[in-house]
Chain A
Amino acid sequence: MDKEQQYELALDCLLLAGQMMMESGAETYRVEDTMLRMARSQNIEDAQSYVTPTGIILSLGKRQVTKITSITTRITDLHKIAKVNNVSRKLSVQMITLEEAYDELRLIQKTNYFLPVHIQALAASIASSCFMVLFNGYWSDMPAAFVAGGIGFMVMLVIQEMTRVKFFSEFLAASVVGLLASLAVHFNLGTEMDKIIVGAVMPLVPGLLITNAVRDLMAGHFTAGIAKGAEAFLTAFAIGSGIAVIVAF
């Protein structure tokens, strides 16, 4: 393989790694750090990258044309981040070659590391009911939160799969949660409607996004911080209005 091809492969490999990390919810500065570290391991010292939550621009100096990749979906998938990180670590200490790294990354991209949906929904249910204990709710509200949290999470996943519009799926999931909570209170299966709703929407709310946004701002990534903040605001707005539609009636 001649130098030209080598650099082209390096460019593709780095961009793929960065794209997957960004799509899985890694912090912006870590994505940049990972890509530049991989570049340095290939003796490319003057690589430059510009990472935002919606796209990555990567240049390897004068060797290659600059490439852009766009990022359309952003979810939290920690397993994928760990896998990509592992590949970059191995590449940095020269345990694997660039071709092997690229093949591994392609494999990671194709694999779905998520646990089955029913286990995720069960986790969401349990988390929702645990919230009652942590935030001074009544123990008797736990079953209502359990049901509402699980069903709300399921609704979000299913609608997200069908429409690919995040705002809509979150809005609908929040409405379902609000409906279930008000029904539970109506039929005396729960006491505090507010606590049940807050517990059940916990798996949906963007608490993590807000914190990550502030963190990116502190690290000097203002574009990423503002963009993530906007996403968090939109999600919170979707959830708030979804609930309000139900509560208003």
Chain B
Amino acid sequence: MDMELVIQLIFSFIFTACFGVIFNAPTKAIPYCGFVGAIGWIIYYVLIQFNVTEVQASFIGAFVVAIVAQIFARRFKMPMIIFNVSGIIPLVPGGIAYNTMRNIVELDYNMGIQNGMRAFMISGAIAMGLVFAEVIIQLMMRMFKTGRTSMQSFARAKRRQKQG
């Protein structure tokens, strides 16, 4: 079990980093993309082992991916999408989307609809996880930095007054 976890960790890291290359992430960000993906995947993997359904596991995985991506984005002053996009790649239902289409072109409509619903639910859960994490972080940031942001807005208003 432990060995299995380490293997999964290493390979999900490589997997995500490779997608970072394909999506042309800035070179110095690629290892961090891999890191984000590995964390998200490990959480998904462990949850699946504990019999959590794939939709819920995807939601939690994406949630954690977005939080880690947000931290990296602030640290490196890069847009969050760089870390998000590669980070969720191990979670996105590419294989299921492919299976759906294959079922449908092979005229197996029942399996096609079933797989299609699965892909839709999982991608919906991932998107929900990303959006929720983003909103919660924004709320928290606003709470922590109330003083600073109001100072900034005050300074900006003053600067504008001067110009106008």
Contacts and interface: CB of A to CB of B under 8 A. Distances in A.
Interface of A: 25-27, 30, 43, 76-82, 85-86, 89, 113-115, 119-120, 123-124, 126-127, 130-131, 133-135, 153, 197-198, 201-203, 205-208, 210-215, 218-219, 232, 236-237, 239-241, 243-244, 247-248
Interface of B is mostly: helix
B119 A114 contact: no
Nearest to A201: B98
Nearest to B164: A43
A124 B7 CA distance: 20
B97 interface: yes
Given A202-B95, A236-B101, A240-B98, A123 B127 contact: no
A21 to B, nearest CB: 9
A214 B102 contact: no
A120 B94 contact: no
A130 B11 contact: yes
B78 interface: yes
A119 B79 CA distance: 24
B89 interface: yes
A37 to B, nearest CB: 12
B interface, size bucket: 35 or more
A130 B99 CA distance: 19
Given A85-B78, A197-B98, A211-B92, 4 more contacts: A43-B163, A81-B82, A241-B101, A247-B102
Interface of B: 7-8, 11-12, 14-15, 18-26, 29, 41, 77-79, 81-82, 85, 88-90, 92-95, 97-102, 104-106, 119-120, 123-124, 126-128, 130-131, 160, 163-164
Nearest to B88: A211
B123 A211 contact: yes
A214 B127 contact: yes
A80 B20 CA distance: 13
Given A85-B78, A134-B41, A244 B95 contact: no
A237 B100 CA distance: 9
Contacts of B106: 244, 247-248
Chain A CB count within 10 A is highest, among B29, B79, B85, B163, for B79
A81 B79 contact: yes
Contacts of B97: 205-207, 210, 232, 236
A113 B18 contact: no
Contact of A215 (B7, B130, B163, B164): B130
Contacts of B15: 126-127, 130-131, 134
Given A81-B82, A130-B15, A219-B131, A207 B23 contact: no
Contact of B81 (A78, A153, A210): A78
